Structure 1
Amino acid sequence: MRLHRLELTAFGPFSATEEIDFDALSDAGLFLIQGRTGAGKTSVLDAVCFALYGQVPGARNAVKGLRSDHAPPTLAPRVVLETTVRGRRLRITRSPAWERPKLRGSGTTVEHAKVVLEEHERGEWVGLTTRLDEAGDLVSRLLGMNATQFCQVALLPQGEFAGFLRAGADERRKVLERLFATEVFTQVEKWLAERRAATGRAAAEPAAAAASLADRIAEATGAAPPRGDRPAAVPPPRRGDPVVEPFAEVEALPAWAAELAGAHEDVRAAAEELRAKFAERLRDARRALEDARALADRQRRHAAAMARRAVLTERAAERSRLASLLDTAARADRVVPLVAAVAERHDRARQARRWAGETRLRAGELLPPNASEDVLAKAARARRDEIAALEGARAAAARLRAIEDERDRLAAELRRLEPEEARIAATLAELPGAVEARRAELDEARLAAAGRPGAEAAVGDVRRRLDAAHRRDQVTVLLAGAEEAHRASVDAAQQARDRLQDLRQARLDGMAAVLAEDLVDGEPCRVCGSTEHPAPVTSLALIPTEDQVDAAQAEYDRAQAERERAAGEVEARRTERDGLLEAAGEADVEALAAELAEAERALAEADARASEAERLEAALHRDELELDRVVTARDENGRALTENRTRDAALAADRDRLRAELDEARGADPTLEARIARLGREAAVLDEAVEALRAADRAEEELAAARARARAAAEAEGFRTPEEAADAAMPDEDQAGPRDKLRWFDGEEAAVRELLADPALAAAAAEPAPDLDGLRAALAGAEELHANAAAAADRARHRCERLADLCARLADAVRAWRPAAERHEVAERLAGLASGKSAANRHAMSLSAYVLAARLEQVVAAANERLDRMSAGRYALVHTTDKAAGDRTKGAGGLGLRVADAWTGLERDPVTLSGGESFITSLSLALGLADVVTAEAGGTEIGTLFVDEGFGTLDEETLDEVMDVLDGLRDGGRAVGIVSHVAELRARIPAQLRVTKDRAGSTAAIVV
């Protein structure tokens, strides 16, 4: 990834629009971002990260407001970044969420975050997306890293890595977990732990089941469980408890259970033999008692049959009388229904004659009294025909009523519309004039409010000039003081220089005498090499020592540095004063304050007129809407009046026509409905008379036929007349008693005959009576013995069946326990290794910690390549797997760092390093981590790097080494940006991005 151009608008400390050409800076390979503290150097890096990921690095991301407080209220914050990633030229435009003033009224409204992602293709920018999530996903996929990784790889926040260098394993682990994808290894640890617990529960459950079954076997047999072979049952483990180990002697339980089952099978066989023996005795006793009971029953039945036959012989006459009575009643029953039918037909004929007389009397009021049936029918039909003809007139009557109702409604509507027409006309006479007057007033207010932007601009201009004038006066005073200090520093530097030159000259002048003092006869001269010294120089003047010359040099250096600082201060004050003079001019503060008050008054008047214009515009809009509404109401009212009157005239004509038709249809009756009702009543009376005459004739015919049928039936059954048959009839309830007695006689005779004909009963009557009491006592004794033997056999059988079931279930439990125990052993071993809690894990490191330790080892190797150069071969980072004293997390070892000192040959804690040593060590660590993260994430090569602060702690020699390392990062065309305010770097790095701050906000300028 290489940056090309960055544009910032109202972002961070930048109040206006600042454009940074990274291509121009990158041409030098190494460039400096410099400025005063708080100017906005780091904000440039924030803008790059925000453009790519929509967030800024570190703790600054928690701050909601990214918009500049110096920017005008209506200026929208925006960051535009052009960059090349994997050969694709992209332009990302992002705006953070901010609050802008409402376009109407007071207050603010929220503008949500926005993004536009474009790609340069075939000479033009093509939009890719405007969705925040899609843009972030595309950038992350192209770069191959998330925002956290990018901030660590491309921005190199040195201060954070100093903390990373000194941190404990727990804090270091958190940082590495954010940078490297170790979630899968953490999930493996969690899965193995869960698997260990699950297999432990799976192994404990069948073991507990086997123990429970052994207890039940012992309970069923009454034997004691094998205490030495089987431990007590243990419930399944709870979450977090250690897993219960499988039973050690579970496999001994099936053999113990089988031995008990064999012993109880022998007991069962003996009980079955005893039960069979007593069952045979019981059968013999029961068979003897049943035979005796059967003989006694046959003897009793034969004696009872003889007694019943004697009773039937005595009641033979009664039986004959009952049979004759029931025969006569049966013949009469076949005639009685016909006699009853004659009486019924006679009653119907009498009622029909009475009804015919009554209806003829009512019909006599309409026709002659003796009118025939045909005359009555014709008269009824004629009246119904007339009713049918009058039904058509009913629709006309309904239509007449509807017309009257509609005319009443039209009259009410007319009474409402006529006054409304007068009111609308009066309103139209006044409203147009009021609308025109309101429009003229609005035009005048708009004309007055048009000057508001100019007044607002004038206020802003005067206010800026006034602020500049205040600062100009302050800077003038500060400049005078700086110039005075500069003159003093120049004099002091000149004096120090003169003293240094004097001391150097004096030492040079006396150098021969100094050398002569060291000459020894016979030893060579250090200048000419001769061993003879014929005339050594002597001097009486005081010769300065080398230490005095060095002290003078140091004093001169300090004076010269102070001179340069004072010159820089004078230049800065003078530049600031010149800029303020351009902004404020020579006008004094009082005049500018008066001018500002006048401009603010003009702006207040313009604001008032603008508010008045808005009010008048709303009022004009309401008046115009009211005028349109009234015109529309007038048109609708006139149209409704015309339609009302036309409709009323048409309805009046229809009303007159329908009234004439209805008068003709009703005749002499008061109304049409009255005429229809009268004709209906007369037709009903005539129809009833016709029906009554016909019913009377039918009743007479049916009465004659019923009398003939009754006479024929009586003669056929042997009676002279139907009345004689009716007298001989007997009700069913009277026949029930004789019929039941007769059936009893028949049944009793057949039963006695069948019993006396049975040879078994006859043979039994000839035998002696049996001893039933003795046989019952023998049966009771046999039943008691058999019941006791059967109960014992049943208990033995049930115990054997239960033992067989429990033994089978015990064998199943043991078979289920063995593979579960094996699986738990494997899971326990793997989970202990992965969590670092097993003795087999020699380093006591969890799987995720081991992976992070491997990544840290790679980081240390990459960091030592730079640290060796920066520290001139003295220091090297050492990765240790020992657990530190402050590391509280179990299994989190392997993340220790030590520093090897080649001068002492010892390793020490990083916290013992000095400020400069910590800087070069943490910078090396940051560069090494950047290399490893880039390779791990599979991301694109970073073509533009930034190193943020920390150079002020380095001495000149170490700074040279650090600069050489940073200069080496440019290999392959990579550009490196250093963020610092150290003065020494300004002289070393010519390509610079200078960030300047003032009251109106920060600005950025490129110096190459």
Structure 2
Amino acid sequence: MRLHRLEITAFGPFAGTQVVDFDALAGAGLFLVHGQTGAGKTSVLDAVCFALYGQVPGPRGAARGLHSDHAPPGLGPEVVLETTVRGRRLRITRSPEWERPKKRGSGTTRENARVVVQEYEHGGWTGRTTRIDEAAHLIEHLLGMTVHQFWQVAMLPQGEFAAFLRSGADKRREVLERLFATEVFAQVERWLAERRRQTGRAAEELRAEAESTADRIAELTGARRPEPAKASRPRLAEPADEPADIEVLGPWATELAGQLAAVHDETAAVLAGAEAALAAARTAADRAKALADMRRRYADALRRRDALAGHAAERSELAGRLETAARADRVVPLVRAAADRAGRADRAARRAAGRRAAVAGLVPAQAPEDVLAKAERLRRDEAAALAGRRAEEVRLRAATAELAALAAERDGLAAERAELSAALETLPGRVAELRTGLESARLGAAGLGGAEGAVADAARRLDAAVRRDRVTGLLAAAEDEHRAAVDAAQEARDRQQELRRARLDGMAAELARGLVAGEPCRVCGGTDHPAPAAPSGPAVTAADERRATAAYEQAQASREQAASRVQGHRAELDGLLENAGETPVEALAAAHAAAETAREELAEAAAGAERWAAELARAEAELTAARDRHDTVAGALTAAVTRSDELAAETDRLRAGLAEARGEDPSLEARIRRLERAADDLAEAAAAQRDAETAAGELAAARATAEEAAAEAGFGTAAEAAAAAPPEAERAALRDRIRALDTEEAAVRAVLDDPELAAAAAGPDPEPGVYAARAGAAEAAHTTARSAVDRARRRVDRLAELRGVLDRRIAAWRPAAHRHAVAAGLAAVAGGDPAVNRERMRLSAYVLAARLEQVVAAANERLGRMSSGRYVLRHTVDRTATEKGRRHGTGGLGLIVVDGWTGRERDPATLSGGESFISSLALALGLADVVTAEAGGAEIGTLFVDEGFGTLDEDALDEVMDVLDGLRDGGRAVGVVSHVAELRARIPAHLRVAKTRTGSTVTVAAP
């Protein structure tokens, strides 16, 4: 991927449109991005990342919106990037979500994020997509890396890699997991752990089911269940390696089944004998009981025959009464019909007399039926004619109510019109007055924006001046310390070299002190020592030399730290001078106070303008509403007057017509009801007269028929025949008594005529109680034996059923236990369980450790050059002292630094600032190589190194610049983001970012 051109509008600190020509900067291969603190150097990199991925990594992208605070409210943020990826020239135009002012009214509205991706082909730009998701898929596919990977690979943020270098394994793991696709291995760990839990639960549930079945067998048989040995924690081994488990339950259940079968056979033999004895006892008892019953029945029949002889006369008298009642039954219905007709004739006569009295004032007293009917028709015809005028009465009530409502409405409308007319006389003057005041206030508040900018600029310069004076003192003190440290380091160096030379001069005497007579010399091998050398002065030992070397290294480290402090204060002072210059603090404080006073005055004017505008808007709205309402009220009042006149004429006409129709009655409805009641009374009187005449004729005919029927039945009168007919209940009792006597006589005769009963009565007493007692005893013995057999059979059957269940559950448990053993062993290895994983590393940590080894190998290729061969990074799986107390599975990501000068291993935290910078830069470059290769992404043609060069001395800076020069191989362009002033002279191509009160700007300076 190579960047060509970047255009930034209203994005981050850039208020207007700024253009970065990367092609011009890439001509030199190496270019510098510099500027004041906070000017927006890193924001240029953010714009590149946002154009590609639509987001800014880290806290800068989440802390606030990307729309520039310096840009006009209506200017939307936009980034346009031209780049070549895998040989394809793309132009990406992207805007973030932002709030723009509404086109109508006040307030803001949200503008959604958008993107346009174009490709240059055939001499012009061709659109590829305008969808955000499609653009993201296209860019990630071409680059082959996510936004976090791109930020680490193409932008090389040194602050993050310095923290990565010094942090523990957990922090390194977080960074590496973002860059490398290790989620699948973490998912494997989680899947294996979950599989271990699932198989464990399944095996334990099946074990519990088998043991539950064994408990039921023990409860059934009364035997004690053997306790199976619990399996140890599953290992990567076959189930045969585990202790004996629930397999013992099957043989135990088989043994119990044999015992229950023997018990069942014994009880079955006892039951067979009890059944034979019971059958014999029951036969003898039944025979004795039957003979005693026959003797009892014969004696009872003799007693009943003697009692029936005294009831012969009673039966004859009952039969005569039933015959007389049968003759009277033919006359009784006719007598009852005549009595019913008499009642109906009496009721009809009384009703006819009452109805005649009700219409006495309407027709003559003895008027016939046709006169009554004619009077009814006349009154019904008049009532029907009056009913047709009911609608006039309803309309009169509605018109009267509407007329009253219109009167109230007219009064209200007249009062409202008077109020509106008064308001229309005063509101126009009020509006004109408010408009004049608003114009005056706006003129006074026009300069508020400039005043606020002046206050912010004055405050910034004042803070910079205060800090400038303080840093000036710190710089002077640091320079003094640095000069002292240089002198001390030089003295220590001279002392070390002097002792080394003295020791070398006295080395012969030192070797001579170790010679022993008869033993070979370590130099020449001879056993004779005729003239051993003697020291010419004070002896210098190896310990003296080591102490001098340590003192020199300590003095050199102090010198480097002092130089780092001087460079830091000097760089900070340069930036402060760019902001505050040489102006005294007092003068800047006075300027800040004056700007603050001017801003407060203009703020008061601006607040007044807002109040004037709000009052003017309310007054104008009130005036418009008053005019519209006045016109509406005037029209409504005119319509109400016209409608009142129409309704008044209509009510007068309806009242006159209704008064004529009701006559002397209080209302039309009362007259109609009076006529309808009179017609109903006349109709009822005519009907009652007809009914009375008909009932009298029917009564005379019924009485004659009843007398004729009584004479034919042998009675003197109909009344005599009615008295001879008893009630039906009495007749039923007579018939039941006769039938009972006949039935009893037949039953007694049948018993006395039976020869078997007669023979039984003549024989001896059979004594049935004795035989019944013997049968009861046999029945009890049989029941006891049957119960014992049933219990034994049920226990045998139930045990067979439970044995089948137990065998099935044990068979189901075996494969489940094996699966759990395998799953538990694999989960322990993948989870870093020290019992099976001697490295105590999780699977995901192991994969990340392999990636870290690749990163370290790539980093050492450059670290050796930048440190002049002194330092080498080494990856280790050993946990540090702080990590050893943690749970297993967290190691494998350790880093140590090997010092080639001393041969010792060092913790990265002990490196100096410059050493940490070159180490973290080497890590960053190594990680970029590994991530690019791992992701299969495009070659990075434009690379940025962000900050950290201020910690390097001159020699280290030369080495680092050589490495950066080497990055340009293959036409790669490298951008260095730094404050260090010395780099401006070393790197001729510059991208300068300058900040102003109205926003930042960029300037490209290429050789």
Q: Structure 2 residue aligned with 1:307, among 300, 303, 306?
A: 303
Consecutive unaligned residues of structure 1, counting only runs of 5 or more, are 486-563, 581-586
Q: Structure 1 residue aligned with 2:686, among 687, 690, 693?
A: 690
Q: Distance in 2 between matches of 1:867 and 1:920?
A: 7
Q: Distance in 2 between matches of 1:822 and 1:859?
A: 41
Identity over aligned residues, as a percent? 52
AA matched with 1:89: L
* Aligned residue number for residue 866 of structure 1: 862
Secondary structure of the corresponding residue to residue 315 of structure 1: helix
Of 624-633 and 5-14, the range deviating more from structure 2: 5-14
Secondary structure of the corresponding residue to residue 81 of structure 2: strand
Change (3 A) 1:671 1:1004: closer
* Aligned residue number for residue 189 of structure 2: 189
Q: Distance in 1 between matches of 2:469 and 2:290?
A: 151
- Structure 2 residue 697 is matched with structure 1 residue 701: yes
Q: Structure 1 residue aligned with 2:988, among 987, 990, 998?
A: 990
Within a 5 Å distance, the mapping from 1:381-396 to structure 2 comes to 381-396=377-392
Q: Distance in 1 between matches of 2:301 and 2:149?
A: 120
Secondary structure of the corresponding residue to residue 388 of structure 2: helix
* Aligned residue number for residue 487 of structure 2: none
8 Å contact 2:950–2:980 — kept in the other structure? yes
- Structure 2 residue 786 is matched with structure 1 residue 790: yes
* Aligned residue number for residue 948 of structure 1: 946
8 Å contact 1:829–1:838 — kept in the other structure? no
Shift, 1:661, TM fit: 4.2
Q: Distance in 1 between matches of 2:896 and 2:457?
A: 59
AA matched with 1:373: E
Shift, 1:31, TM fit: 0.7
* Aligned residue number for residue 350 of structure 1: 346
Q: Distance in 2 between matches of 1:318 and 1:142?
A: 130
Change (3 A) 1:113 1:856: farther
Q: Distance in 2 between matches of 1:317 and 1:465?
A: 148
* Aligned residue number for residue 367 of structure 1: 363
Shift, 1:387, TM fit: 1.9
| Post-superposition CA distance 1:964-1001 (Å, at most 9, x none) | 33233334443211112233322221101223457777
* Aligned residue number for residue 292 of structure 2: 296
* Aligned residue number for residue 545 of structure 1: none
Q: Structure 2 residue aligned with 1:780, among 776, 781, 784?
A: 776
Change (3 A) 1:142 1:701: farther
Change (3 A) 1:208 1:138: same
Of 334-343 and 882-891, the range deviating more from structure 2: 882-891
8 Å contact 2:2–2:84 — kept in the other structure? yes
* Aligned residue number for residue 282 of structure 2: 286
Change (3 A) 1:57 1:244: farther
Change (3 A) 1:397 1:15: closer
Of 970-979 and 358-367, the range deviating more from structure 2: 358-367
Change (3 A) 1:889 1:101: farther
* Aligned residue number for residue 932 of structure 2: 934
* Aligned residue number for residue 762 of structure 1: 758
* Aligned residue number for residue 509 of structure 2: none
* Aligned residue number for residue 81 of structure 2: 82
TM-score using structure 1 length: 0.78
Within a 5 Å distance, the mapping from 1:581-600 to structure 2 comes to none
Shift, 1:296, TM fit: 0.5
Shift, 1:26, TM fit: 2.4
Q: Distance in 2 between matches of 1:765 and 1:893?
A: 114
Shift, 1:17, TM fit: 5.9
Shift, 1:847, TM fit: 1.4
Change (3 A) 1:218 1:416: closer
Consecutive unaligned residues of structure 2, counting only runs of 5 or more, are 477-566
Q: Distance in 1 between matches of 2:215 and 2:669?
A: 103
Change (3 A) 1:933 1:447: same
AA matched with 1:180: F
* Aligned residue number for residue 647 of structure 2: 648
Change (3 A) 1:989 1:620: same
* Aligned residue number for residue 152 of structure 1: 152
| Post-superposition CA distance 1:145-192 (Å, at most 9, x none) | 333322211211223222322333222212211222222221211121
| Post-superposition CA distance 1:713-756 (Å, at most 9, x none) | 43454434322211212123444543332222022112212222
Change (3 A) 1:822 1:591: closer
Of 772-781 and 819-828, the range deviating more from structure 2: 772-781
8 Å contact 1:449–1:606 — kept in the other structure? yes
AA matched with 2:948: G
* Aligned residue number for residue 492 of structure 1: none
AA matched with 1:346: A
Q: Structure 1 residue aligned with 2:256, among 246, 255, 260?
A: 260
Shift, 1:64, TM fit: 4.0
Change (3 A) 1:456 1:953: closer
Q: Distance in 2 between matches of 1:470 and 1:671?
A: 102
Change (3 A) 1:154 1:718: farther
Change (3 A) 1:351 1:573: closer
Q: Distance in 2 between matches of 1:682 and 1:334?
A: 50
Shift, 1:784, TM fit: 3.5
Shift, 1:461, TM fit: 9.5
8 Å contact 1:438–1:620 — kept in the other structure? no
| Post-superposition CA distance 1:424-466 (Å, at most 9, x none) | 6xx64x6666455445445544654564476557857987999
Within a 5 Å distance, the mapping from 1:82-161 to structure 2 comes to 82-84=81-83, 86=85, 87=88, 89-94=90-95, 115-120=113-118, 143-161=143-161
* Aligned residue number for residue 44 of structure 2: 44
Shift, 1:284, TM fit: 0.6
Shift, 1:860, TM fit: 2.5
* Aligned residue number for residue 516 of structure 2: none
AA matched with 1:777: A
AA matched with 1:176: L
Paired residues in the alignment total: 900
Q: Distance in 2 between matches of 1:274 and 1:882?
A: 81
Q: Distance in 2 between matches of 1:306 and 1:968?
A: 146
Change (3 A) 1:468 1:744: closer
Q: Distance in 2 between matches of 1:827 and 1:574?
A: 68
8 Å contact 2:73–2:100 — kept in the other structure? no
Change (3 A) 1:712 1:26: farther
Secondary structure of the corresponding residue to residue 154 of structure 1: helix
Shift, 1:265, TM fit: 1.4
Within a 5 Å distance, the mapping from 1:137-536 to structure 2 comes to 143-225=143-225, 227=226, 230-231=227-228, 248-414=244-410, 423=418, 428=421, 434-438=426-430, 440-441=432-433, 444-445=436-437, 448-449=440-441, 451-452=443-444, 455-456=447-448
Q: Distance in 1 between matches of 2:327 and 2:664?
A: 70
| Post-superposition CA distance 1:781-820 (Å, at most 9, x none) | 3234323333332332232223212222221222112111
Secondary structure of the corresponding residue to residue 689 of structure 2: helix
* Aligned residue number for residue 849 of structure 1: 845
Within a 5 Å distance, the mapping from 1:516-915 to structure 2 comes to 608=608, 611-612=611-612, 615-645=615-645, 647-648=646-647, 650-652=649-651, 655-656=652-653, 658-659=654-655, 661-666=657-662, 671-715=667-711, 717-837=713-833, 840-872=836-868, 875-887=871-883, 888-900=886-898, 909-911=907-909, 913-915=911-913
Q: Distance in 2 between matches of 1:1004 and 1:836?
A: 53
Shift, 1:345, TM fit: 0.8
Q: Distance in 1 between matches of 2:947 and 2:857?
A: 24
8 Å contact 2:424–2:626 — kept in the other structure? no
Of 604-613 and 977-986, the range deviating more from structure 2: 604-613
Q: Structure 2 residue aligned with 1:918, among 909, 916, 919?
A: 916
Q: Distance in 1 between matches of 2:246 and 2:575?
A: 93
Q: Distance in 2 between matches of 1:834 and 1:570?
A: 55
* Aligned residue number for residue 499 of structure 1: none
Change (3 A) 1:708 1:451: same
| Post-superposition CA distance 1:458-509 (Å, at most 9, x none) | 857987999999999999999xx99xx9xxxxxxxxxxxxxxxxxxxxxxxx
* Aligned residue number for residue 555 of structure 2: none
Change (3 A) 1:344 1:67: closer
8 Å contact 1:10–1:16 — kept in the other structure? yes
Secondary structure of the corresponding residue to residue 766 of structure 2: coil
Of 326-335 and 596-605, the range deviating more from structure 2: 596-605
